[in-house]
Amino acid sequence: MTATTLAAQPTGLVLPSSFPDDVFEAVKARIFGKVPSASPAWEQLAGSHNGVRYRLRACADYSEEFTQSVQRFGDSPPVEKRYQQERQLFGFFVSGYAALDSFSFFMYFAAAHLQPGPFPTQRPGQIKSISCKSTPPAFAKAFPGEDITTALNTLLAEQMFNDWDAYRNVLAHRAAPGRVMYASVGSSAPDPAADWKIGSAGSLKIDASLTPPRLAWLVHTLSGLVVAADTFTQQHF
């Protein structure tokens, strides 16, 4: 099976088959064995753990829906199908980034149980600021040299992550991008796929290869983060 094939996990939730959901459940169990259920952190940990899995599943679903739509209706469909494709792209990029943010939030609160100083969570503003970008520096300060610290900082350096961040920001905060269509005259060659004008983030081709490789990267990246979290929690919880 490929990285993006969906399959039922031992927990019952259908997720990309290569995502180690059983390992992620073991990570949660270790943390919850130390964090009291009456603690405010327990709810934050439970919610963010769910967030990783649900947003990843949503991202995979949006990818499949978009790919099927482009294969069936092309890159310049009637307005209602065009709206559906735009909704699928919005959901894909926003959900995918949310899965990464949820993982960062989850690990931040886990680390806060061990070392509250570098991981403040007492005020709403502190909680609001937790993200993919704020969690790695805190880990670098509190847990230098650990696999999870390396994995979190490697994520920030990846071009795919930075591109995804730019696309998500355009979609969530600015616009529904237009498309540049191509039509040749007097040629039997197929026209190039339309360009999706994603603002200052550049352009992407509206075709069946837009979302699958990005989803595969997301699954691979989250899987590596989960494996690093497994090592971290075995050592510290």
| Domain assignments of the chain as residue spans, ordered by start | 14-182+192-236
Give the pLDDT of residue 115.
95
Distance CA 55, CA 78 (A): 29
Distance CA 182, CA 180 (A): 7
Q: Residue 185: pLDDT above 60?
A: no
Q: Residue 189: pLDDT above 70?
A: no
Q: Residue 190: pLDDT above 80?
A: no
* pLDDT, tens digit (0-9, with 9 covering 90-100), for 130-151: 999 999 999 999 999 999 999 9
Give the pLDDT of residue 202.
74
Q: What is the signed CA dihedral for 110, 122, 144, 230, rounded to 10 degrees?
A: 10
Q: Residue 2: pLDDT above 50?
A: no
Lowest mean pLDDT among 9-13, 60-64, 205-209: 9-13
Q: Residue 187: pLDDT above 60?
A: no
**DSSP characters over 197-231:** E-GGG-EEE-STTSSHHHHHHHHHHHHHHHHHHHH
Give the pLDDT of residue 218.
98
Q: Residue 73: pLDDT above 60?
A: yes
Q: Residue 117: pLDDT above 70?
A: yes
Q: Do the beta carbons of residue 192 and residue 182 sit within 8 Å?
A: yes
Q: Which amino acid is at 146?
A: E
Kindly state the average pLDDT of the residues 213-229: 98
Give the pLDDT of residue 186.
55
Q: What is the DSSP letter of 116?
A: T
Give the pLDDT of residue 11.
83
**Average pLDDT value for the chain:** 92
Q: Residue 203: pLDDT above 60?
A: yes
Q: Residue 192: pLDDT above 50?
A: yes
Q: Do the beta carbons of residue 56 and residue 15 sit within 8 Å?
A: yes
Q: How many helices (H) and strands (E) does the chain have?
A: 8, 5
Indicate the pTM of the whole model: 0.93
Q: What is the DSSP letter of 174?
A: T
* pLDDT, tens digit (0-9, with 9 covering 90-100), for 79-114: 999 999 999 999 999 999 999 999 999 999 999 999
Of residues 174 and 221, more confidence is placed in: 221
Residue 13: helix, strand or coil by DSSP? coil
Give the pLDDT of residue 212.
97
